[in-house]
Amino acid sequence: FSPDKVTVVFVLGGPGAGKGTQCANLVRDYGFTHLSAGDLLRAEQDRPGSQFGSLIKDCIRNGDIVPMEVTVQLLENAMTEVVDGRKKSSGDNGKPAKFLIDGFPRKMDQALKFEETVCPAKFVLFYDCPEEEMQRRLLERGKTSGRADDNSESIKKRFRTFVETSMPVVDYYEKQGRVVKIDATPKPEAVYQETRKRLGERLG
Ligand code: UP5
Ligand code: MG
C-alpha cells in the first residue's frame, strides 16, 4: 500500500494494558478501522480447513508469537478487503484508509517485514501499564472471557514474551522518535482523554 492510500498506527502495550478498549474509542471518534492481530489469529484458528489452526492454538496458550508470515498475511488480507471495499463504494473520497493495528508488531522480524512489504506506520501508540495491574485485569476478564490464555499460567508466559521479545520493538521505535507513550494505569476514560490529547498533536 502506498502511504497516500493508507495510514497505519501501531497500538502496542503489554497483555491487558487496554489496547482493545482504547481502540474501540478511537474507531468511534476518528473513523479508524481496528485490526487486532490477536483477534485475526483467533478467527483463523477457528476457521474450518485452516492449516494453521493447531499452530496458532499452541502459540496463544503458551504466549508464544505465531510465525510472522501467518500474521502479516492475515493483516494484509484484512487491509486489502477494507481498501477494496472503499474503492467499490467510492467511499474513500480520495482520503487514505486509517488503520489501528492492535497488538502488532510484537517481535522485531514482524516489524521489519510489515514496514518493508505492507506499509510503514505513521507512529506507535504505546500503552504502558505495570504488570500487577495487567494481571489483575486479565484474571478478572478470565472469569468470563473464554480466552484460552486468560489463566495465571498463560499470563505469566505472555508477560515474559512481552518483556523479552516485544519491548525491544517499542525501544526500536522509541529510538526513532516514533512512539507516543501513554500511562495506561488510570481508569479507561482518563486513559482515553490523554490518548485524544496526544493523538491530536500527532495527527494534526
Ligand atoms: N481494562 C481495559 N482498560 C482498563 C483500565 N484503564 N482500567 C481498568 N480495566 C481496564 O483490556 C483487558 C481487560 O482490562 C478488559 O477486561 C478491560 O475491560 C479491562 P483490553 O482492552 O482487552 O486489553 P488488551 O491490551 O487488548 O489485552 P489483550 O489481552 O488483548 O492483550 P494481548 O496483547 O495479550 O492479546 P492479543 O489478542 O493481542 O494477543 C494474544 C496472543 O496472540 C499473543 O499472546 C500471541 O500468542 C498471539 N499473537 C501473535 O502470535 N502475533 C501477533 O502479532 C499478535 C498476537
Ligand atoms: Mg486485545
Q: Which residue from 10, 19, 59, 74 has its CB within 8 A of the most atoms of ligand 1, so it is best to mutate?
A: 19
Q: Which atom of ligand 1 is nearest to the CA of 107?
A: 53
Smallest CA-to-CA distance from 39 within 189, 145, 116 is with 145
Q: What is the pLDDT of residues 156-186, one digit of tens each?
A: 999 999 999 999 999 999 999 999 999 999 9
ipTM: 0.99
Question: Closest Cα partner for 162 from 138, 142, 180?
Answer: 138
User: What class has domain 6-199?
Assistant: alpha beta
pLDDT of the residue at 115: 97
CA 92 to centroid of ligand 1, rounded, Å = 30
Question: Distance between CA 6 and CA 179 in Å, rounded?
Answer: 19
Domain ranges of the chain: 6-199
Q: pLDDT (tens digit, 9 = 90+) per residue, 88-110?
A: 887 667 789 999 999 999 999 99
Phi then psi dihedrals of residue 151, to 5 deg: -130, 160
